Structure 1
Amino acid sequence: MTDQAGQTDASPLPEGRRWDTIVAGAGVAGLTVAHELAGRGYRVLVLDASDRLGGVASRIDVDGLALDAGAESFATRGGAVAELARALGLGDEIVGPNPAGAWLQLADRAVPLPKATLLGIPSSPLARDVIDALGWGGALRAYLDRLMPVLRIGKDDALGPLVRRRMGRKVLDRLVAPLAGGVYSADPDRLDVATVAPGLNNALTQAGSLSGGVAVVLEERAVAVARGDAAPSNASRPGSAVQGIRGGIHRLTAALAGSAREHRAELRTGTRVRSAAPTPTGWRVETDAGALDASSLVVALPEAQALRVLGELGGFAPLRTDAAGVTVELVTLVFAPGAIEGDPRGTGVLVAADAHGIRAKAMTHATAKWPWLREAAQGREIVRLSYGAGDAAPATEGLDDAAAAALALQDARAIFGRDLPAPVASARVRWEQGQPTSVVGARARQLALRAAADAHPNLTVVGAAVAGTGLAQVVPDARAAALGVRRERFAVPGTPWTDDVTADELETSADGDARSATAVGARDEDERGEA
């Protein structure tokens, strides 16, 4: 399968043509739906307002290197992304990251991330690596958790207040907040404990302390791995439960696009979907290029954009008033050979809340993390710095590209603790993301979006807005949604459909299938790959 993600048909759309399915949005979710439907003979049109396909899994070219613009890995849980990659001929290209792990940047030093932790919460507060991160005072305060009674019966909703009350502010600021920002792009005070740490509340009650509860959860996970019921994972190390694709995650996007085109789907960039309305035989879609008709509509856009398209329809209008999101910017720096000796900060660094003077929330030493990239870079060193988390605007906000690169260089020098030379090239990418699934109340909002879509025949909403961020969330949801489109084909009178849903597919797509299972209680890791 060739890398064709950047190629789109620039010819005018044929007037009067009717499509089986129009897909609004050409990120991974939209392209997955197009791949699934076009492969079954559906006449599919994919539209995207940007100038490239792939969304957060697109490609950028920097100093002659093809790099990931956003997501550089996928969470291994569920196996759905690896399964899709294998179906697209990329199975032999799946690779793991360097297991060296990430570091933590504190106000006065950098230390390796403590190992036996759950989202930064230590199971043993007086472990040597925890003392290195917190100091003796912070570690002893954390140990008081072992002596405090569990006055609440383990039912905290938000992670931040739970950690602050049981273990103190240093654990929250130095361990939990950096991981929450790097993994979830969210303030820990808003993270839903039941979503990001399933079982922790019950384990806390069982063990009588938060650290003891963490030990129980980690032990249960270790047993599950030993039995083969779960993939190996270490919650203290972002990246340890992920995999990548040799050459970059953008190759998955390119393969999806190539597959869809091989089956005669049309993919158009630079065409914005403005609104949509139901018709007696399907949907009328208003775009920059004019009005188009289709039997079914799949909206695969970020939440705010999806609501701009669907906001006038029943059920969606109330959701427009409180749409929230996260703005993230990634600045990639390419250094000449010899600029960074060895891997002095492992695969990257998460920045603690009290590390004043560093504006980035995280840095990935990409050539240290991915052996294939080090080989491809031919001695050059590549680092990626991430800005923006929660409700705060990125520190790069309002800066031009040169100033943003200068800020990233300043932060990289502080993180590496050395006077790095100016980069030979840089690139900057900005993402507008929906509200993370992991925050308190987000799950209810996603269910409301699904319910609003389900109220309209032959309308489907996919992507992070309803499935949660991360390829491990989006891919199985999109594949199940494509099957749902096929199941609804008889709802449109007189429409010529080209395939039937098999009995096996009907059985596996019942309510409670991958579409819902991946969303309930699942983590929505930020797979841009910080650290």
Structure 2
Amino acid sequence: MRARAVIEPRHVLVIGGGIAGLVAALDCARVGIRVTVVEAADRAGGSVATETVAGIRVDTGAESYATRQGTVRKLVDELGLADAVVTPASAGAWVRLPNGVSAPLPKAGLLGIPSNPLADDVRRVIGWSGAIRAYLDRIRPVLTIGREHNLGDLVSRRMGKAVLDSLVAPVTRGVYSADPADLDVTRAAPGLNKALTKAGSLSGAVALLRAAAPAGSNVEGLAGGMYTLVEAILAELRRREATVLLGTTVTELQRQGGSTLDSEVAADAQPATWRALLDDDTTIDADYVIVATPEAEALRLLAPLSAELATEQPIQTPTVELATLVIDAASLDVKPRGTGVLIADRPEGSRPAGRAIMAKALTHSTAKWQWLADEAGREHPHRHVVRLSYGRLGQANQTLGLDDEALRAVAVADASEILGVPLDASQVVGFTRTAWVGTLPGAAIGQRERAERLLDAAVAIGDLDVTGGWLSGTGLASVIPDALAASARIRHLVAASYLEDGVVVDPHTRTGINDTSPDANPS
């Protein structure tokens, strides 16, 4: 048997420490790959963020995750967080109409599309005339085999303007920060096109999908907030000796062309493929790279490496701002609007009923999450957390030009109007604002095809992959599977390189043994 030489494990550089980058990094580290994460911000997690307001730790980014496919829950369980999983209160959300009337959002629907247009909770929102118009969907000519694309057109044609404006639009603006007309039916409502062909009507298709949906809540959260997930991933990365650099920007990514710039390299070491130049004038050499940054930053790094990506311009997306209020108000103890309210736009040119509302949605967080209500009420029995959202696709966000005092005043006035109870600044004991540069929804018309094209161009560079919400769409249930797919492709490249070099990886030491003799054990 020939002599064995110990070889350092392959090194993967993950650029971006948001949830996509952290998940991809952890997936690589778990199989013994050396991992370095570089994040430009001073904290990891990206849009999963937290802040302490009036002594209460609150989510200032994602507050929950969709349970579809079970991918997020699987990660949560693997990180030992199963006991922290919580579901929202059953009260549900409301919708506020342009005439100032508020009503509970109908429960038996999909993206606001009702399965029974004549149900009491549907008529309460759109009235008898709107309900009868929507019911015509059941007696109109059946939908034949084909593929519907534009969600707004489909709803308007089959069920009318009342359903579109008062039910569907508030939901899509709250979920996707986009109007129904901007969304692809196939992406926004998977399975709906197939159900349309089977049922022959839109309401019938929704009923089929609702009947086939598994029992239980379609969203979950974590006691202590979603940032608990980020902290658990960081702890696991530290346990696996991964390096996480915060407050550090990659200024340039260079392909090394099979040579290494390291001055001291072991004789059997593999040449580094990539060199990342950092803003502190240091460098990182790596064998593989995963780019997990927002779109503009990803294209900046990758443009010099790909002719196709060099001509691509980032999509202009909305900046969404969250205003979080901590309020002492006994009037909110009764949860006057359930877990929150979605706002229906008033027709252009019409006068608002009461004060004009700038927010697109409000979440009564302490009504939605019992763990947060317990935390807030521990020393103050009437303390509540309310979160308002501003900005959406296609519209300028007017709050971005306001200073903190002005935005706080707007948020208090909006909350009072939306919740239907008088609130004033004297009741506010805590306030914070958080601005997020949004991503184009994965359900946007044409976005999936564009994302696939850009991903193919990036992967074609070689020894590199890309992940993030700008490719997968927003929400942890979209981002995490995409990150795992990217890391799986990189892990495959790592495994192939080891096999090519006759390297056997020791899972305990995370090093490789170079042995190409006939009796080498490849397992």
The TM tier, using the shorter chain, reads 0.7 to 0.9
State the match for 2:367 in structure 1. Answer: 368
Letter paired with 1:420: L
CA distance in 2, matches of 1:361, 1:155: 30
Letter in 2 for 1:109: V
- Residue equivalent to 1:434: 439
Q: Does the aligned pair in 2 maintain the 1:332–1:426 contact within 8 Å?
A: yes
1:96 corresponds to 2:99: no
Q: How far 1:499 moved relative to its partner?
A: 5.5
Deviation at 1:390, TM superposition (A): 1.6
**1:113, distance to aligned residue in structure 2 (A):** 0.6
- In structure 1, what is the equivalent of residue 299 of structure 2? 307
1:466-495 deviation line (CA, Å, top 9, x unaligned): 222211122233233323322212449989
- How much has 1:185 moved relative to structure 2? 1.8
Partner Cα distance (1:198, 1:40) in 2: 33
Work out whether 1:166 is the aligned partner of 2:155: no
Look up the SS of the partner of 1:248 in the other structure. Answer: coil
**Shift of residue 318, structure 1, vs aligned partner:** 5.2
The one-letter code of the counterpart of 2:63 is E
Q: Give the secondary-structure state (helix, strand or coil) at the position aligned to 1:396.
A: helix
Kindly tell me: are residues 394 and 285 of structure 1, through their superposed partners in 2, closer, same or farther at Cα, counting changes over 3 Å? same
Q: Is the CA contact (8 Å cut-off) linking 2:318 and 2:397 kept in structure 1?
A: no
Task: Return closer, same or farther for 1:127/1:45 CA change in 2, 3 Å cut-off.
Answer: same
How do 1:51-90 and structure 2 match up within 5 A? 51-90=42-81
What SS does structure 2 have at the residue aligned with 1:247? coil
What is the TM-score when the length of structure 1 is the normalising length? 0.83
Q: Secondary structure at the match of 1:325?
A: coil
Matching of residue 453 in structure 1 with residue 430 in structure 2: no
Instruction: Give the corresponding residue for 1:523.
Output: none
More displaced stretch, 22-31 vs 335-344: 335-344
Q: Mind listing any 5+ residue stretches in structure 1 that lack a counterpart?
A: 1-16, 226-231, 234-239, 501-531
Correspondence 1:290-301 to 2 at 5 A: 290=281, 291-301=283-293
Task: Please state if 1:483 is matched with 2:488.
Answer: yes
- Indicate whether 1:411 and 2:414 are aligned: yes
Residue deviations 1:371-391 (CA, integer Å, cap 9, x gap): 000011123200111111222
- Alignment match, 1:20: 11
CA distance change for structure 1 residues 187 and 499 in 2, over 3 Å: closer, same or farther? farther
Match for 1:385 among 380, 384, 388?
A: 388
Local SS of the residue matching 1:161: helix
The one-letter amino acid paired with 1:366 is S
Pick from 117, 129, 149: which aligns with 1:157? 149
Query: Per the alignment, in what secondary structure is the counterpart of residue 78 of structure 1?
Result: helix
Greater displacement, 336-345 / 172-181? 336-345
- CA-to-partner distance for each residue in 1:308-340, whole Å, 9 max, x for gaps? 221222155256225232321111100125252
Partner residue of 1:253? Answer: 230
Q: 1:499 to 1:393 in 2, by over 3 A?
A: farther
**Counterpart residue number, 1:197:** 189
Structure 1 counterpart of 2:420, one-letter code: G
- Decide whether the 8 Å contact of 2:309 with 2:457 is kept in 1: no
Q: Which residue of 2 aligns with 1:285?
A: 276
Unaligned regions of 5+ residues in structure 2, if any? 1-7, 259-271, 508-523
Q: Does 1:464 align with 2:463?
A: no
Q: Deviations over 1:373-425 (max 9, x none)?
A: 00111232001111112222323121122212211111101111111132111
Partner secondary structure for residue 50 of structure 1: coil
- Contact persistence 2:9–2:33 (CA under 8 A): no
1:39 and 1:95 map into 2 onto residues whose CA distance is: 27
Q: Match of 1:164, SS?
A: helix
Give the 3-state SS of the residue equivalent to 2:387 in structure 1: strand
SS of alignment partner, residue 310 of structure 1 = helix
Correspondence for 1:146: 138
| Matches of 2:438 and 2:9, distance apart in 1 | 32
2:62 aligned partner, one-letter code: A
Task: Please tell me whether the aligned partners of residues 413 and 424 of structure 2 are also in contact (alpha carbons under 8 angstroms).
Answer: no
What is the SS of the residue equivalent to 2:147? coil
Superposition TM-score, scaled by structure 2 size: 0.84
Counterpart-to-counterpart distance in 2, 1:314 and 1:277: 12
| Alpha carbons 1:180, 1:186 under 8 Å: kept | yes
What value does the CA root-mean-square deviation take over the aligned residues? 2.4
Following superposition, the deviation at residue 39 of structure 1 comes to: 3.5
When residues 383 and 267 of structure 1 are mapped into structure 2, their CA distance, relative to the original with a 3 A threshold, is: same
Q: How far apart, CA to CA, are the structure 2 residues paired with 1:494 and 1:316?
A: 32
After TM superposition, the structure 1 = structure 2 runs for residues 503-518 of structure 1, keeping only pairs within 5 Å, are none
Inter-partner Cα distance in structure 2 for 1:27 and 1:137: 47
Shift of 1:299: 0.7
Count of equivalent residues = 470
CA distance in 1: counterparts of 2:403 and 2:42, whole angstroms: 20
Which amino acid letter does the alignment assign opposite residue 261 of structure 1? R
CA distance in structure 1 between the partners assigned to 2:410 and 2:504 by the alignment: 54
CA distance in 2, matches of 1:251, 1:257: 10
| Counterpart for residue 208 of structure 2 | 216
Code of the residue aligned with 1:263 in structure 2: it is R
Please report how far the alpha carbon of residue 451 of structure 1 lies from its aligned counterpart in structure 2 after TM superposition: 0.4
- 1:210 maps to a residue whose letter is L
Give the Cα–Cα distance (whole angstroms) in 1 for the partners of residues 200 and 68 of structure 2: 29
Shift of 1:26: 0.7
Residue-by-residue CA offset, 1:71-103 (whole Å, 9 max, x unaligned): 111111121212211221211111111111111
The amino acid that maps onto 2:193 is N
Q: Which structure has the greater CA radius of gyration?
A: 2
> Any conservation in 2 of the 1:106–1:354 contact (CA below 8 Å)?
yes
The 1-side partners of 2:372 and 2:136 are apart by 45
> For 1:7-59, what per-residue CA distance to the aligned partner results, in whole angstroms no more than 9, with x for missing partners?
xxxxxxxxxx9981211111111111222333444332211111211101122
Task: Return the letter of the residue paired with 2:220.
Answer: Q
1:482 and 1:153 map into 2 onto residues whose CA distance is 38
1:337-348 aligned at under 5 Å gives the runs: 338=330, 340-348=332-340
Could you say which residue in structure 2 is the equivalent of 1:35? 26
